[in-house]
């Protein structure tokens, strides 16, 4: 739809008529550069009078149209687009994903094919990121060291893209869970309380780093950072070798006791994901535990249209000037 930003400008439409109606007419005889004593006799000629009347009528209408267009442009006509939902500031949610060497174990299934743990995590966590409208999301990748891959941002697409581009071993083969928590505390401590959340996903035990996980959890609790931990990895898988097939536990290195303690110290919860279906349920539960803020706001994009009537007014004014020169 079209609307005008300054409706009151249209009050100026009758201004030319008011000027002509109430201001005194200029004395043409005094302002003339050349005086003709026989001018009065020329005005009495009927043919000349009618020609002047007919030729003056058309410029008058052009001038009126130009004035209407000029006033319309001054009123700032705008085209209002469809309402667009704005992102509302919700939680500051940081995701920490383990990239250690053990994440390459292929004990998950995704769409009917066997995949490694990181691939399954990318697929499920990616969908979780996409619909967290209103939250600022950050991404920490950790292995032997912890790195901030994405600072807190409303740009969920970028976070998803950078998660997809992560690779096993990018941060080293070991696991520094404590450093990942410490980095999350550092990045979230200046943000509003009761909105700080860390989702930490790992498949092993803390084997590297300068900070022990429980020490980092105590610091997180002081800073009001809530931690949800997810332990990934199947309890059993079949391995084939030269001696045949045997069953092994690919998650024997998972330190569930520490992962549970990390969550309990900070008011969060520990989840166990043995397959893709359980991982999807966990992220669905996280949506319920930390729901997205529902206070929606909208804005309507505005496109300025004043150049169109302004251009037409200038064009009509140009026509009048040319016609005046030719007279």
- DSSP class per residue in 124-148: HHHHHHHT-TT-EEEEEEESSSEEE
199-241 pLDDT tens trace: 999 988 898 888 999 999 999 999 999 999 999 888 877 666 6
Regarding whether 131 and 222 lie in a shared domain, the answer is: yes
Question: Which of 80, 323, 104 lies closest to 203 in space, CA to CA?
Answer: 104
279 and 209 part of one domain: yes
Give the span between the Cα atoms of 114 and 120, in whole angstroms: 10
Q: Are residues 176 and 284 in the same domain?
A: yes
Question: Does the CA dihedral 112-118-122-128 come out positive or negative?
Answer: positive
Please give the mean pLDDT across all residues of the chain: 82
What predicted TM-score, i.e. pTM, was given to this entire model? 0.62
306 vs 318: CA distance, rounded Å: 18
CB 227 within 8 A of CB 181: yes
Query: How distant is the alpha carbon of residue 135 from its chain centre?
Result: 11
Query: Domain count of the chain?
Result: 2
Residue carrying structure tokens 């005005």: 43
Residues 291 and 277 in one domain: yes
pLDDT tens by residue, 42-73: 455 555 444 444 445 677 888 889 999 999 99
Which residue is it, tokens 């980095």?
183
14 shares its domain with 134: no
Instruction: Point out the least confidently predicted range of 81-95, 120-134, 309-323.
Output: 81-95
Tabulate helix, strand, coil % of the chain (nearest 5). Answer: 45, 20, 35
Phi, psi of 18 (to 5 degrees): -65, -40
96 and 231 in a single domain? The answer is: yes
Residues 305 and 290 in one domain: no
Structural domain including 13 reads: 2-81+300-326
Q: Identify whether residues 201 and 143 lie together within a single domain.
A: yes
Does one domain contain both 232 and 254? yes
Asked if 70 and 98 sit in the same domain, the reply is no
Q: Which of these, 70, 59, 56, 76, lies nearest to 15 by C-alpha position?
A: 70
Q: Is the pLDDT of residue 324 over 80?
A: no
DSSP classification of residue 168: T
């Amino acid at each position: 739809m079209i609307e005008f930003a300054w409706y009151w400008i249209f009050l100026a439409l009758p201004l030319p008529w008011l000027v002509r109606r109430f201001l005194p007419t200029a004395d043409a005889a005094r302002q003339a550069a050349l005086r003709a004593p026989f001018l009065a006799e020329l005005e009495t000629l009927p043919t000349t009078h009618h020609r002047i009347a007919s030729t003056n009528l058309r410029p008058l209408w052009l001038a009126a149209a130009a004035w209407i267009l000029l006033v319309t442009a001054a009123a700032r006509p705008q085209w209002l687009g469809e309402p667009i939902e704005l992102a509302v500031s919700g939680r500051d949610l940081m995701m920490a994903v383990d990239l250690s060497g053990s994440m390459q174990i292929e004990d998950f299934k995704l769409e009917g094919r066997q995949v490694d743990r990181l691939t399954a995590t990318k697929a499920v966590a990616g969908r979780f990121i996409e619909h967290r409208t209103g939250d600022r999301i950050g991404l920490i990748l950790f292995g032997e060291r912890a790195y901030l891959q994405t600072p807190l941002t409303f740009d969920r697409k970028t976070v998803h893209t950078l998660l997809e581009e992560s690779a096993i071993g990018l941060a080293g083969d070991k696991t520094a869970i404590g450093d990942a928590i410490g980095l999350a505390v550092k990045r979230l401590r200046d943000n509003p309380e009761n909105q700080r959340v860390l989702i930490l996903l790992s498949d092993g035990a803390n084997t590297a780093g300068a900070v022990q996980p429980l020490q980092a959890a105590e610091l997180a609790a002081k800073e009001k950072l809530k931690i949800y931990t997810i332990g990934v990895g199947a309890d059993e898988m079949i391995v084939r070798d030269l001696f045949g097939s045997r069953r092994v536990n690919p998650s024997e290195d998972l330190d569930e006791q520490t992962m549970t303690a990390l969550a309990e110290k900070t008011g969060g919860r520990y989840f166990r994901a043995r397959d893709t279906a359980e991982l999807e349920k966990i992220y669905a539960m996280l949506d319920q535990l930390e729901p997205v803020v529902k206070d929606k706001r909208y804005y309507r994009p505005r496109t300025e249209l004043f150049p169109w009537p302004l251009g037409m007014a200038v064009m009509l004014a140009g026509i009048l000037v040319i016609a005046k020169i030719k007279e």
